[in-house]
Amino acid sequence: MPSTVALSVTRYRPEEESEPTRQTYEVPYRKDWVVLDALNYVKDKLDGSLSFRWSCRMGVCGSCGMMVNGEPKLTCAAFLSDYFPGPIRVDPLQYFPIVRDLVVDITDFIKRLKRVKPWIIWKEEKPLAEGEYRQTPDQLDIYKQFSMCINCMLCYAACPVYGLEPGFAGPAAIALAQRYNLDSRDTGALERLDILSEKNGIWDCTFVGECTKVCPENVDPAGAIQQYKLTSAAHWFKSFLLPWGTK
């Protein structure tokens, strides 16, 4: 059994080349290593110029997302043994502009996220004397799944609609909007609906369903979007039949 595995990595050095190239590194094969360990081995021992993002190495921070053999993965959770004997292909997240090597520019994602107002909106803030905003376990259960998102953007890299329609709000942003819509303390659902039922919102989604498959936290963004479509359609019917009742 060979004790090494080949890692074929995208290189892009904008100061030297006008488009990405590939470079292959032989790294030790260890059963307990993940792709991120292999990349760190390359950085430490073989080639210090390789750039990639990572932080927690335990599936919490969401910064080490890359394409591993063409699939969006958290490299801290992609074991070498699953790809053995290789070669393992590592690329930057699909559909995002590449800054350098495996690092992509996420400005666009952050902008989209902000647009859907992913925070609790109160019509009126309660006076402090009235105490805390209480929530029952059942009320928490309704949105909890959608609140598990770690913003790793794997769902964007899996979504062909995001690749084809550059304005599309995208799976994670909509799932997070839904997380706040379903929160019993929130009163901003109509504001978000105005943003998301328009162009580049939920109706751009054609339900490919890949976002849900690649999500490392089981957030189910595809489900969130379809449920949101149902809410939006119901709201439209209501405003059509009872125009005075939805204001």
The residue ranges that bind other proteins (CB under 8 A) are 12, 14-20, 70, 94-95, 97-99, 105, 138, 141-142, 160, 163-164, 206-210, 212-213, 220, 222-223, 226-227, 229-230
* Position 216, amino acid: P
Ramachandran angles phi, psi of 94, nearest 5°? -60, 150
Report which of 217, 77, 212 is spatially closest to residue 147, judged by C-alpha positions: 217
Tokens 């504001």 sit on residue: 191
DSSP state of 34: B
Structure tokens at 233: 């359609």
Nearer to other proteins, 27 or 211 (CB): 211
Count H helices and E strands in the chain, helices first: 9, 7
Minimum distance of other proteins from residue 230's CB (angstroms): 6
CA dihedral sign of residues 220, 221, 225, 231: positive
| Rg of the chain (C-alpha set) | 21
46 vs 148 by CB, closer to other proteins: 148
Minimum CB–partner distance for residue 3 and other proteins (Å):
32
Nearest Cα neighbor of 230 from 163, 181, 184, 183 is 181
Q: Which is nearer to other proteins, 81 or 184 (CB)?
A: 184
How many other CB atoms are there within 10 angstroms of residue 14's CB atom?
11
3-class secondary structure, 79: strand
Nearest approach, Cβ of 89 to other proteins (angstroms)? 13
Q: Which is nearer to other proteins, 17 or 82 (CB)?
A: 17
Q: Which is nearer to other proteins, 17 or 194 (CB)?
A: 17
Minimum separation from the CB atom of position 160 to other proteins (A):
6
Kindly tell me which of 30 and 213 has the beta carbon lying closer to other proteins: 213
Q: Residue 243, preceding bond cis, omega within 30 degrees?
A: no
Nearest distance in Å: CB 97, other proteins: 3
> Shortest Cβ distance from residue 226 to other proteins (Å)?
4
